[in-house]
Every structure is written in structure tokens, then in C-alpha cells.
A and B are shown apart, each in its own frame.
Chain A
Amino acid sequence: MAKVGSPSEERAGARGRVPSRHPEEGAAGAEGRFKTEEMILNVGPQHPATHGVFRLLATIDGEVLIDADPVIGYMHRGYEKLVEQRDYRQITNLVSRMDWLSGINNELPLALAVEKLMEIEVPPRAQYLRVILCEMNRILNHLMFFASFGAELGAITPTFYAFREREDIQRVMEATTGGRMHFGFFRPGGIKEDVPEGFVEGALAGVRQVIDRLPDYENLLVGNEIFKQRTIDIGILEEEAAYSYGVSGPIARGSGITMDVRKDEPYLVYDQFDFDVQSAPNGDCFDRFWVLIREVGESARIVEQAIEGLPPGPIMGKVPRVIQAPEGEVYVRCENPLGELGMYLVSDGDRRPYRLKIRTPSYSNVSALSYVLKNTYVSDMIAILGSFFFVLGDIDR
């Protein structure tokens, strides 16, 4: 089944430093440490290391974080209440705005949930195009975090490279959907419209370029001594804790977990493609980043295969003009770029959902932050925050 990679080769060159977790056992040993007074430090709400508005209430004792309490909610828009007043057509555009780095992936579970309740058959062409667009969006998202994680650790170069590659794929997405961030492209039953001329060539060129250049990018950070020093054995999240907190996506897979909804419970046509689940065993910042960058290559592989097998045909199933999901409830899980996005839809037969619970990946991922940050050094805080790859809009909904 899922193949598990191992970054052991890349990790080899590191000079090994004191593990950041439980520093009292390391260099800053209990006896050797100065007694200092505890103080509370507010990090944020505006801080360049956070993608959005996020505050961290940190209790520090000298250089050690005794306690860290993430304060969220600066961007809470109340989508779960709002969607009860909107019909399914309108909700597509709302959920697109949750995680603004992966708009099109957000729209997918809603469409799937409605299709399940209404028993709509989605034509193969629409399914393939959905896969292609979702994976291209995943590449965009991961390249963004490749850029920002580098920048947070003081390396500005990845930003320029990542944005160059992003632009080529972004242009294809824009030509197809008309949007650069909020696409609003998936509908219950299929997709809004067929892809324009030049889509296949453009998408192929975009992902092949990424595949070609990926080894360089990987080396740029993963092979960098300073990067290793700042990430290896820093911010450790153990496998059991990751499960218990509901951490998913590349962050969980950096802790030795091989969970991936695309592989475990395939939706759309993911079971027809050959790709690996990347996972690394150590659960530190380095492994999380390693998984993230490796996943770019896997997504590019899926796009290539999907374009090769793209069937002709209609792009919309048989859908009534007014979409009214029949009574019932359904839970749909999808693998978003940052983890598992789940939607629990309760329908009473109306045009609007009776209740839509949105389980966003970043919310659960970030709830594990206070656990991971406990007893780490203040200087590692930004590396740990950055390695959790979260988007605030996705936390607050």
C-alpha cells in the first residue's frame, strides 16, 4: 500500500544539537539554569510568521516557553451559521474562502456531500478535471509554504523560485476558472464549465517544470546546513499525540503517520492513479517540511496521469435546476493540502442545508500547538509555528 519514504539520508549531515523538547534535560539543565521570573509575551496578532491574524500568548521563563496558548478567532466569519441561510450554489463561494490558499479543494467536499444525498452520477470527465484542479491547487499551496517557511527561517531565495513556478500553474487555473484564489468552480453534479483551449498543454508544461526543478528546491533548503540546524529535532509531535489531537495532512505525516484520504478511502478517481503517500518518522520541523516538499512531486505525478487519461464527454451530471438535497445526513472527508477537510451535512430537504459542520484541518492542527511548543526555546518558536503550515481563515471559518 502506501509507500513510506525516509529522510534519513538528508538528515545525516546534521551536526546534532540539543533536542528542543524538554530543554531542562539538555544544555539548560535544571542546575545550570538561572532562576528567572516568568513573564507573559504576546506574539501577534500581527506577526509575519502567521498567515493571517493570530496571537500566541506565551509564558516564558528566560529562554524557555513554559506555556503557549494560541488565541484564535480574529477572522471568525461564522460560516456554519451563515450557510444555513444560503442555498448550495451560494455556499460553494463561501467555503472557497475558508482556506484561501486552497480554494478549489474547499469546494469539493460540499459538492460530494450533496451528490451523495441526491445520488447524482458525476461524469468521468468532470471527475478527472476535479482531480487535476485539486492537485494543481495542492502544488500552489505547498509551494507557498515552501516559500514562507524558508522566509521565516531567514532564507528569502525560495520565495522567488516558488512564486515563479506558482505563476505558471496559477495562470492555467485562472484561464480555466476566472479566479486566482476563490475559484467557485465546482458544482454539485460536476464543474462550472469545460476547460479552455490550451489547458492540457499549459497544465502539463506547468507541472513538468515543477517536476524538473523540484530537486533543486529540495536541496536549497533540505540540503542547507543552517536549515537543518534550525529544524532537526525541533518541535517534536509524536504519532500518538498527532492522532489524539486530530492532526492530519503533511503535519501528521511528518510524525510517521501514513494516513491519506486519497489512498485510504479514495474519492473521485484517485484509486486510478499511481502515487505514493510521503511520510517521515521523526515528527520534527524538518520532517514536516520534507513531507510537504515531497508531496509536490506526487501531486505533479497525479496531474500528469490524469491529463493523460482525461476522457471526453459531458462535465455535468443530471442535476435539477434547483438543488434540493433530500432528507438525510452524510459525512464526507477529503484530503485538503493541509489535512483532512470534513463536512457533515444534515439536510431537511430544503434548498439550504439544515446544518453543515465544517471540520477544517488547520483548526485541529493548531490545537496541538500548545502541546508542541511547551518546553521549547523561544528562538525555535517561529520555526515550529511555520512548520505547522496553517492558514488562519481555515482555523476560524
Chain B
Amino acid sequence: MAQTQSLSRADEALERVKSALKETISEPKVNFGTVDLICEPGALVGVMTALRDSEGIECKFFGFLSAVDRSELGEGGGGLEVLIVVYSPVHFFSVAVHVPVAAAAPACPSVSGVYSGALWHERETHEMFGIVFEGHPQLSNLYLPEDFEGHPGLRSFKLPGRAVKDWPGAKDPEEAAAGGR
């Protein structure tokens, strides 16, 4: 029962988001009860401000900001994207904003002016994925040492242990049965 309730809530929310944001977003849809949309970096700050302030949406609660490297997700998987999720504590639905960024020199405007919570999330995403958030007041590393090379969040960054040699034994009953041991 609760499931269907939240689904119809998300459908209504989708309509409101569509009419508030119009051409600034693309491919709006409902995915497992979350409103899902794609937004170009140039329009991001405007879109986030609208999501926060528009009547009927009011996504005031900052969920998280991170990135997804879709380069190994098969055909049509896409490249690198910034992912922001915000939640409306008034109308009870989440919005996931996907922002595709160029893989060569990834950059995206900072949304820390709209959501203060993005300050730390952007720093983490910067060091893990190498995305530069333009306008961030202090984009220093949060976790990694300043002289660390590479961006561990990217798919091309292999864990050292895995890069040297594969796990020696079987990892699954199937492999063991097939003589993987």
C-alpha cells in the first residue's frame, strides 16, 4: 500500500517538476519512486535553485552529490556524470539530477551556493573523480593526501591488489565446482 502511494506521489511530482523546469532539463521520468532527470552543466545552478524554491516542489533537503563513471557500463552507458539527489520534506519525494560532464577535462558549476551541504560532497567528488567544481570556495582534498596521483573513483583506477594479481582461489561455489580451485 505504502509502495503505490509513493509511486503516485512521484508521478504527480514529475508533472510539477516538468512544468517548473521546462526546457532546461531532458528525459524526466520516474525511476523506483524517484524523479529522475538530466541537466546540462550550464543550467545546473538555475535548475537546483528552481528545485529548491518552486512551489509544489520545495526540495529543501540536500541528499548527496557524487559522480558515476558510466564508461564501462556497456554500449550507450555514457561517460562521467555528476549525480545530485535532493528531497522535498514538504511533498515527500526525491529528485535525482544527472549532469553529464566531459571526460577529458570534467568541470561542473558548484551548487554549494544553493545547498551548503554540497561543500564537502563536492570536495570528495573532486578528489575521487577529478571533477572541478567551478566557484567552490575551497576545493582541497578531504580524504586523500594532496600529492596523491589519480582519481580512485574512476573505473580506470584499479585497486593495487587487483592490478597485480587476481584472487587466487575460487570466489563462488560455481567456480569451485568447475575446478576453479
Contact = CB atoms under 8 A, between A and B. Distances in A.
A315 to B, nearest CB: 21
Given A245-B117, A246-B117, A257-B89, A342 B31 contact: no
B62 A85 contact: no
Interface string A227-247: 000000000000011011111
The size class of the interface chain B forms with chain A is: 35 or more
Contact of B62 (A81, A244, A265): A244
A364 B143 contact: no
B172 A322 contact: yes
B131 interface: no
A313 interface: no
A333 B94 contact: yes
Interface in B115-174: 115-117, 119-120, 128, 142-143, 152-153, 157, 159, 162, 171-174
A331 interface: yes
Contacts of B142: 72-73
Interface string B33-72: 1100000000000000000000000001111101011101
Nearest to B152: A81
Secondary structure class of chain A's binding surface, majority of residues: mixed
Nearest to A367: B120
Interface residues of A, number: 49
5 closest Cβ pairs, A-B complex? A246-B62, A246-B117, A359-B64, A243-B60, A367-B120
30 contacts: A73-B142, A73-B143, A81-B153, A87-B171, A243-B60, A244-B115, A244-B117, A245-B117, A246-B117, A247-B117, A259-B61, A265-B6, A271-B1, A321-B173, A322-B172, A329-B31, A330-B32, A330-B34, A340-B63, A342-B64, A344-B64, A344-B83, A346-B73, A348-B72, A354-B72, A355-B68, A357-B64, A359-B85, A367-B116, A368-B117
Interface of B: 1-2, 6, 31-34, 60-64, 66, 68-70, 72-74, 77, 83, 85, 87, 89, 92, 94, 96, 115-117, 119-120, 128, 142-143, 152-153, 157, 159, 162, 171-174
